């Protein structure tokens, strides 16, 4: 494809914010959440005892500082996808987020079976993973899947 054709296709696609505001805002909020979470993980990675139960399983896989970088990268990718109006990448970052959050949720559930001291954190992670799955599945409003045409005003 030529550069001109790519630009025309980019301009022809309506903004995700207008077509599916729920998906747009959720991807944006999850991008900010991932940035904050990554910064917190980077900040506490040096000053925390990794043998404490909340982090034992998770840090056995990857150190907290690397987790922080992964979450920061995912947050930046989500926000860049929204800025570029790339529906494909916005949806793909939701799938990446589901994978990461599900992994953490499984580790937290396994830890809760051993030491059930923080059930709220486990439920929070499971809820975030479920909401991301639902947003991935229902990324666009149902009327767009049915073939009905609607008019979108800017």
Using CA atoms, how far apart are residues 104 and 98, in angstroms rounded to an integer? 10
Tell me the three state secondary structure of residue 8. helix
The separation between the first and the last C-alpha atoms of the chain, rounded to the nearest angstrom, is 28
Using CA atoms, how far apart are residues 42 and 62, in angstroms rounded to an integer? 13
**pTM listed for this prediction:** 0.78
More reliable by pLDDT, 45 or 93 = 93
More reliable by pLDDT, 7 or 119 = 119
At residue 110, the pLDDT reads 81
The whole-number average pLDDT for the span 23-29 is: 91
Confidence of residue 30 (pLDDT cuts 50, 70, 90): very high
Using CA atoms, how far apart are residues 56 and 71, in angstroms rounded to an integer? 19
Chain segment 52-99, per-residue pLDDT in tens: 555 677 777 788 888 899 999 999 999 999 998 888 898 899 999 999
At residue 83, the pLDDT reads 92
> What is the maximal distance between C-alpha atoms in the chain?
59
At residue 35, the pLDDT reads 96
Nearest to 98 by CA among 7, 35, 30: 30
- Residue 152, pLDDT > 60, answer no
Residues in CB range of 130: below 8 A, 6 or more apart: none
Nearest to 33 by CA among 97, 126, 106, 119: 97
At residue 19, the pLDDT reads 81
Chain segment 111-148, per-residue pLDDT in tens: 777 777 777 888 888 899 899 888 888 887 665 555 55
At residue 80, the pLDDT reads 95
Confidence of residue 36 (pLDDT cuts 50, 70, 90): very high
**33, 97 contact by CB (below 8 A):** no
At residue 64, the pLDDT reads 83
């Amino acid at each position: 494809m030529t550069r001109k054709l790519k630009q025309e296709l980019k301009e022809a696609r309506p903004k995700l914010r207008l077509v599916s505001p729920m998906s747009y805002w959720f991807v944006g909020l999850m991008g900010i959440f991932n940035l904050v979470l990554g910064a917190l993980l980077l900040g506490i990675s040096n000053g925390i005892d990794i043998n404490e139960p909340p982090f034992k399983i998770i840090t056995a896989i990857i150190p907290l500082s690397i987790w922080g970088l992964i979450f920061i990268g995912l947050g930046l990718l989500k926000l860049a996808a929204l800025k570029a109006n790339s529906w494909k990448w916005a949806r793909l970052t939701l799938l990446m987020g589901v994978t990461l959050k599900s992994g953490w949720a499984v580790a937290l559930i396994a830890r809760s079976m051993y030491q059930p001291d923080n059930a709220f954190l486990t439920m929070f992670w499971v809820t975030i993973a479920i909401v991301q799955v639902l947003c991935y599945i229902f990324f666009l409003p149902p009327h767009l899947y049915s073939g009905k045409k609607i008019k979108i005003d800017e």
